[in-house]
Structure 1
Amino acid sequence: MGKELDDFRRYLAPPPSRFLTSSSSQPQNPTVAEAEPTRFASRTKSFSVDIFNQRHESFVLWLPRPEAFTPQPPVLVIGMTGGPPPETFNEIGRFPLFHSTDKVGLWVLDPASISPPLEDGVYRYWFEILDTSPENRGMLLVTDPFAFTVDYGVATSVGGVGRDQPASVIKFRNGKLWACDMDGTEPQPPPLPDQATLPSNNHLVIYGLPTSWAKDRDDSHGHGVEVGTFTDVLALFDTATSGSRFASMAAIRDGAILAELGINALELLPADGTKIRDELGGYSTAHYFATDYDMGPASDLSRLVATIHSQGVRLFTDVAMASGHDSYRYIDFANFHLLPTTERDNPDSYQSNTNEQLRDGHGGDLWRYIRSAHSYDPEAGDGNSLVVHPARAFHRCHLARWMDDFGVDGLRLDSVNNIGNYDFVRSYKERAWELYKARYGGSADASKFLVIGEELSMPVSIVQQGIVDALWNEPWQGRLRAVILGESGGGDNFEWTVRKLVNCKLDKLDGTHFTDGTQAVNYITSHDMAGYRKERLYDFLVSNGIRDIGRRAKLAFGLLLTSVGIPMIFAGEEFADQMDRSIDIDKKQTDPVNYSRKNDGSWREDLFAYTANLVKFRTKCPALGEDDTNFFHVDERRGAKIMAWSRGCTGDGRRPVVVVANFSDETTPGSEYVVPNWPDRDKGGWREISQRRDVPAEWVGREPLLAWEAKVYTRYTECV
């Protein structure tokens, strides 16, 4: 089984210069790290998942396929890196794992049995296994599928685009194995935030953040592109942090854009490990338990979470569970993955809600959720003759890693239909809630956590059945883009297009409808920019011949931030960023965000200020946390292109929000425009929020409107 080092090098990727190297991946002398004990405080609590505790004691590989199909035991290949960049791997040895005597399918190796003995320090390792993928290439070196840190600075190549297997990283200290960053830092979970400081679901404004941003260097497309880090994200919240790769951008270095914008929920597009320099915005997940190599170590993510929690901002993470690029492709393909075209009689091959449409791996390997095995349960720790669904158990362990170690406050599940198993999705959601409640010892506030599904066919019934808590409201985007052009949409006339836009509960979908505003996530733009009217708002308006882009963009945000549902802002839309690459794209979020446009000194800067004002209002105003909506004025003389409605109760002394919107090219004639039936017209203290001004009593319900303008009024002044 043993091979000489020269033979091992045939597994190495092409020249290491191909891989990104960063300060976090520089070779370290293990004894240096031990000189700073305060950086490496031991984790005092046990993990909520058994296999994590097993990994603390031993090198482990969970291999639920029957032992009869394991002609050779897996082998640990371990060493250290050294020398100047690019990194070089110095192999220490190869050591076979042993099948656990009481945990079927778990292969273990006590580090104390390694000879010569391991010294305290940071190690890189792989498992050598017999390839079980459809290609069946023989013996391969693969990444530990449960690795908390991976190092693409040293990686093996198993053939195929994006199939490189980075080294797994672990620290040996005091006879135990410790999760660590590449430099040996042992990351700690962020402090537990006080629930009272975090926003409720009905007052969320989510910011969807990819981390591919514009920078001053050209890529193959001729545009400046770089991959942001967790430190760069932190700089969007913290003026004392200048960023990492984006410190040269004044908008990031000198400000805190997201703190200024006022959002109270950050959704990171998948931040777990993807293929290196991934152009799918994180949707080609390869290392589910590790933070993304390009974005930075776990310690940096923990620091980011601690900072945003201290500012009352919740963390949502995006999870891709339909397909992956993980090493179980090679370790145990049949138990974890499938090829639908070869198993057309298998219900696991088809998307949910249909017996006709095969699941789509989008270049990855589809997870197999129906198959079970008699195996050790990595989540619960039960050992013998237990029936386990391997893929389900793997993802529930992944869930615990992110919930426990990074304080996640909400989830977005990507493409739930393509996962192909609503029973699993439901169990995943329920486990997420269990972990959230355990965080607060049973006193968890149910309004401070949410599991959102994404499926553009809009199966709203899965919300009502409790499979997920909420759903992306894709039809909202289509209606919004129609009305800011003065068009109707969704098969309705113009008036009902606006009504369903403002109150998503009026929209009947797949035989049912949303029954609460927290069940729907509304957005102007998302990372799915391919397709008709899906591009960035700026490009959409330009392509439709619109010149007053700033005015139409303000109208769009006025509607987003005052409508029933949870508003989500895709990064860059708050200042109408534009696409620098072709808009004819097939991939998700390949065009980078250019934050330098935010401070243009012109209409974009004005749009940002307008949006930030409404964001802060949306997060605080009680009326906008309620669902009731009253349309009290539709101007039939103008083809229903001027409408007024109120949000929030008026009968018990609470103060409503009133929106008056002009969806036409014409400014209202004369010096006033009278809106009849204005609620509480005789009461003082009205204020127009978008322009931040008081409204004289004699002008309440009488103010003129510019073309394509929405005015937002309230008597609630505590937060404006």
Structure 2
Amino acid sequence: MAPFTFTLFAPYNKQAALRLKNASVRMFGVDILMEKDESNGYFRATVDLADGIFHYQFKIQTKSWFEQEPEPALPNYDDDEYKEMTQEEKQEKTHEFSKLIDEIRERNRQRELESTFTEIWYTFVDPYATDVDERGTDDAHKAVGILTIKNGKRIIDEYEWKYDNCFLPPDEELVIYEIHVGDFSGGENDQHARGQFKHVRQKIDYLKELGINARGMYSFFLVSLHISMFILFRYNPRYYFAIETSYGTTADLKEMIDEMHKNGIRVILDGVYNHCDCSSPLTQIDHDYWYHHNPKDVTMSWGPEWNYNFYDSKYNIWPARKFIGDSIRYMVEEFHIDGIRFDAARQIQNFDFLHWVVKEAKKAAGPKPFYCVAEFLPDEPCITNIDGPMDGCWHDSFYWIVRDLLLHDNTDIGRLKSVIDCRQQGYLGVTNVVNYIGNHDHDRMLVELGKEKCIFDEEAFKRIRLGVVLQMTSIGIPMIWMGEEMGEYKEKTPDVAKIDWSLIAEREDNSNNINKSLLAFYRGLVRLRKENKAFFQTNLDFTHEDHNAKVLAYQRWANSGERVVVVVNLSGHFLTHYPVPNMPTNGWWHEWTFNYDVKVDYNEVHLDLAEREAKILVWLGEDWQPPAPEPQSDPSIEPAPNSDTSTTEASPEDKQQ
């Protein structure tokens, strides 16, 4: 047995108590009153505990201006009574609970409007609990915190990190792959249950082949419904120190991140710090101490909003800032994450807080690279650059302008140039924007093409390839939303929407060749981007604009000499032997898209440009020469009269991509 002290910060509440039991015991014992230290606002209770696992809750004489009606515990589908249920029956059950919870929340909202201040006791989970059982226990109709004691001390788990010293890519070299843990692994026809950290770990080889070096993972905080499939649309964290247990244990998460690091892949957490779930523990202690009393904007409100403006002069503390800062430090130090995406950053409306919390996160991360990016919609450079708090932001204007091009044939070259070269919008660096043509907030572009324009099959895939070239060659960090690289066609939904891995499986009839070809196209572009330093700097010039033919050309280059020229036919017409002037350097270039070499003379090159097609020319260097032609077996055979002597196929080892 060893003494363990439970603490609860509730500076203006009159009384608090602890409920505690061994995890193997059915019922809680007598409440243990906690003593308050008025000098710092903490309640404390010290109890002698043996090694083992314990369940605990706090009770408080609330200062919140309404009491929440408790939400029911969700079913555990691993229990015997649910094991025989089909997936459809489980989904129906989940929808029933979702409807019931929505009704309870509506009653709570009405109670908030009608009630006056009353001092009542409320039972809740420790806001700092690192493990939570949402199902509760026999006499705890609410969730319980889980405490593990070993050798007289509290532990999170016993995982030992193995690959902390592995090289991780710097920010400017990132290619981000955004996943939803519950839907990334497995598939619709997979007979085994999937959708956990350990299953994502099994897909690391796939990510390596794709060329990914960063993964955005949203969001593994526990959410209001405790059902991972709803994370897409219910960004309402309830517990800021406990992970989503349906994805696995803390040790599972650490092992997944460790294996990612071993393979040179960084892991970026999607953090929700604008608002939380209405039943989050702090809302029950003293709502207005941590949150705004009313939403800042009722049209953009998703739950109680953290009040980062409030300073408690008596205790010399910024309550909301301290709690979120503690949470972020814990996630960085405990799980070794490599960056954070700040959800709804514009709604936070407090750059002082964002500056401070980003600094705290990077301090906790130590010397390793740590990327902080904001969802700041509509995007503006003020959130980044020299004075902004973030390293980068979601480049939402890129998405909408490219979407207009791909769906509606909007070939406004001026608009397109402004997002290809984000400096025209006021951004300064490569890491200031994250470019995407799809993310979890939108239908995939392939779905948009089908739903809005009835464009399918090869024509749709051709437009996607055009969008991907623009995404991968523009200034900024590219991000791929899981599945779009293989032509996944699923609409955005609150239900299960697992990746259909059969799209890239081997088929005897080769009926999925279009999907496999798109995946190969993505892999090649990611590899080109990673291996060519021209994409790591902001050097970009527009070298040719033809508003009549709707052709745009631009070059990217590095100070070390690498050069890439992108030529884009935005029109719906095939352009034969199109002259592209103002090539930056004469000599030999490799056309990446169709894999041939072409010689540039007089700073001009002629290309065949299919409709809505981009070609990528990679400079091979001053001294590169095409390999000598192989001797012909029959000297009487002459070259075809229309053969193009300015182009030649080169062997892979001769190509300097």
- TM superposition score category, shorter chain reference: 0.7 to 0.9
Residue 9 (structure 2) aligns with: 63
Give the secondary-structure state (helix, strand or coil) at the position aligned to 2:389: coil
- Residue of structure 2 in register with 1:336 after alignment: 290
Partner of 1:514: 427
Give the unaligned 5+ runs of structure 2: 69-119, 506-510, 621-653
Partner of residue 605 from structure 2, selected from 679, 701, 704: 701
Higher RCO, Cα 8 Å, sep 6+:
1
Query: Out of 335, 341, 348, which is 1:412 matched to?
Result: 341
In 2, the alpha carbon distance for the partners of 1:451 and 1:141 equals 36
- Residue 622 (structure 1) aligns with: 533
Q: Which residue of 1 aligns with 2:199?
A: 232
Change (3 A) 1:421 1:637: closer
Q: Out of 41, 65, 71, which is 1:105 matched to?
A: 41
* SS state at 1:712 partner: strand
What are the Cα deviations for residues 684-717 of structure 1, in whole angstroms up to 9, with x where unaligned? 3x223334x2414379832312222111121368
Structure 1 residue 258 and structure 2 residue 207: aligned?
A: yes
Q: Deviations over 1:57-103 (max 9, x none)?
A: 7343332332xx31x3222332313xxxxxxx523524425336586
* Aligned partner (choices 645, 648, 655) of residue 557 of structure 2: 648
* 1:324 equivalent among 276, 287, 299: 276
Q: Encode CA deviations 1:529-550: one digit per residue, 9 max, x unaligned.
A: 2xxxxx2111111121323111
Does structure 2 conserve the Cα–Cα contact (< 8 Å) formed by 1:65 and 1:332?
Answer: no
Q: 1:689 to 1:270 in 2, by over 3 A?
A: same
CA separation of 1:426 and 1:715: change in aligned 2, threshold 3 A = same
Correspondence 1:500 to 2:418 = yes
Offset at 1:552?
A: 1.0
Could you tell me how far apart the structure 2 residues matched to 1:718 and 1:404 are?
44
Offset of 1:311 from its aligned partner?
1.2
Distance (Å, rounded) in 2 between the aligned partners of 1:102 and 1:617: 62
Render the CA deviation track for 1:176-200: whole Å, top value 9, x for unaligned: 22224xxxxx334564234xx2212
How far residue 297 of structure 1 moved from its aligned partner, in angstroms, is 1.1
CA distance in 1, matches of 2:486, 2:41: 53
1:74 partner amino acid: A
Structure 1 counterpart SS, 2:580: coil
Which deviates more, 693-702 or 265-274? 693-702
201, 212, 215: which one aligns with 2:171: 201
SS in 2 for 1:307: helix
In structure 2, C-alpha distance between the alignment counterparts of 1:656 and 1:485, rounded to whole Å: 31
Using a 3 Å threshold, how does the CA distance of structure 1 residues 335 and 594 change in structure 2: closer, same or farther? farther
User: For 1:187-218, what per-residue CA distance to the aligned partner results, in whole angstroms no more than 9, with x for missing partners?
Assistant: 34564234xx2212111111111124286779
**Contact persistence 2:291–2:307 (CA under 8 A):** yes
- Name the residue aligned to 2:79: none
Number of the residue aligned with 1:539? 447
Larger radius of gyration: 2
Tell me, yes or no, if the aligned pair for 2:156 and 2:250 is still in contact at 8 Å: no
Distance (Å, rounded) in 2 between the aligned partners of 1:312 and 1:635: 42
Looking at structure 2, the residues matched to 616 and 494 of structure 1 have their Cα atoms a distance apart, in angstroms, of 30
Larger CA deviation: 144-153 vs 478-487 = 478-487
Distance 1:613 1:294, change over 3 A: same
Aligned to 2:394: 472
Cα distance per residue 1:353-387 (max 9 Å; x no partner): xxxx458441x32222222336xxxxxxxxxx531
* Corresponding residue SS for 2:11: coil
Matched position secondary structure for 1:468 = coil
Structure 1 residue aligned with 2:26: 90
> Which residue among 159, 164, 167 is the counterpart of 1:192?
164
Q: Is the 8 A contact 2:28 2:139 kept in 1?
A: no
1:193 partner amino acid: N
* Alpha-carbon distance in 1 for matches of 2:191, 2:227: 14
Partner of 2:619: 715
Indicate the residue corresponding to 2:466 in structure 1.
555
Aligned to 1:597: 503
What do residues 117-140 of structure 1 show as CA deviations (whole Å, max 9, x unaligned)?
A: x43211222223334444326433
Unaligned residue ranges in structure 1 (runs of 5+): 1-55, 82-88, 113-117, 159-163, 181-185, 238-255, 341-348, 351-356, 375-384, 508-512, 530-534
Match of 1:680 among 585, 608, 611: 585
**Residue in structure 1 matched with residue 87 of structure 2 by the alignment:** none
Give 1:365's aligned amino acid. Answer: P
User: TM-score, length-normalised on structure 2?
Assistant: 0.78
Out of 409, 421, 433, the residue aligned to residue 350 of structure 2 is: 421
1:104 maps to a residue whose letter is N
* Sequence identity percentage: 23
Q: Distance between the aligned counterparts of 2:188 and 2:582, measured in 1? A: 57
Counterpart Cα distance in 2 of 1:79 and 1:702: 77
Residues 227 and 426 (structure 1), Cα distance of their counterparts in 2 relative to 1, 3 Å cut: farther
TM-score by length of 1: 0.71
Indicate the residue corresponding to 2:74 in structure 1.
Answer: none
Distance 1:154 1:107 in 2: 24
Q: How does 1:162-561 map to 2 (within 5 A)?
A: 165-180=142-157, 186-188=158-160, 191-194=163-166, 197-213=167-183, 228-237=195-204, 256-275=205-224, 276-278=226-228, 279-281=230-232, 283-325=235-277, 326-340=280-294, 349-350=295-296, 357-358=297-298, 360-362=300-302, 364-373=303-312, 386-436=315-365, 439-440=366-367, 448-464=369-385, 465-485=387-407, 487-488=409-410, 494-507=412-425, 513-529=426-442, 535-542=443-450, 543-547=452-456, 548-561=459-472
Distance apart, 1:320 and its partner CA? 0.3
Q: 1:132 to 1:297 in 2, by over 3 A?
A: farther
**1:704–1:459 Cα change, 3 Å:** closer
Structure-2 residue corresponding to 1:79: 22
Q: Aligned to 2:439, what secondary structure does the other structure show? A: coil
Q: 1:335 is aligned with what amino acid?
A: Y
Identify the residue that residue 121 of structure 1 maps to in structure 2.
52
Aligned length: 555
Distance 1:718 1:125, change over 3 A: farther
Q: Is residue 591–residue 598 contact of structure 2 (8 Å, CA) maintained in 1? A: no
Q: Name the Cα RMSD after superposition.
A: 2.9
Contact 1:231 1:304 in 2 (8 A): yes
Change in CA separation of 1:424 and 1:407 when aligned onto 2, cut-off 3 Å: same
Matched residue of 1:76: which SS?
Answer: strand
CA distance in 2, matches of 1:701, 1:371: 63
The answer as to 2:524 corresponding to 1:613 is yes
Query: How far apart, in 2, do the equivalents of 1:550 and 1:321 lie?
Result: 37
Query: Distance between the aligned counterparts of 2:332 and 2:122, measured in 1?
Result: 32
Provide the C-alpha distance between the structure 2 equivalents of 1:156 and 1:410, rounded to a whole number of angstroms: 39
What residue is the counterpart of 1:136 in the other structure? 67
CA contact 1:63–1:331 (8 Å) conserved in 2? no
User: Using a 3 Å threshold, how does the CA distance of structure 1 residues 135 and 100 change in structure 2: closer, same or farther?
Assistant: closer
Q: Distance in 2 between matches of 1:298 and 1:470?
A: 29
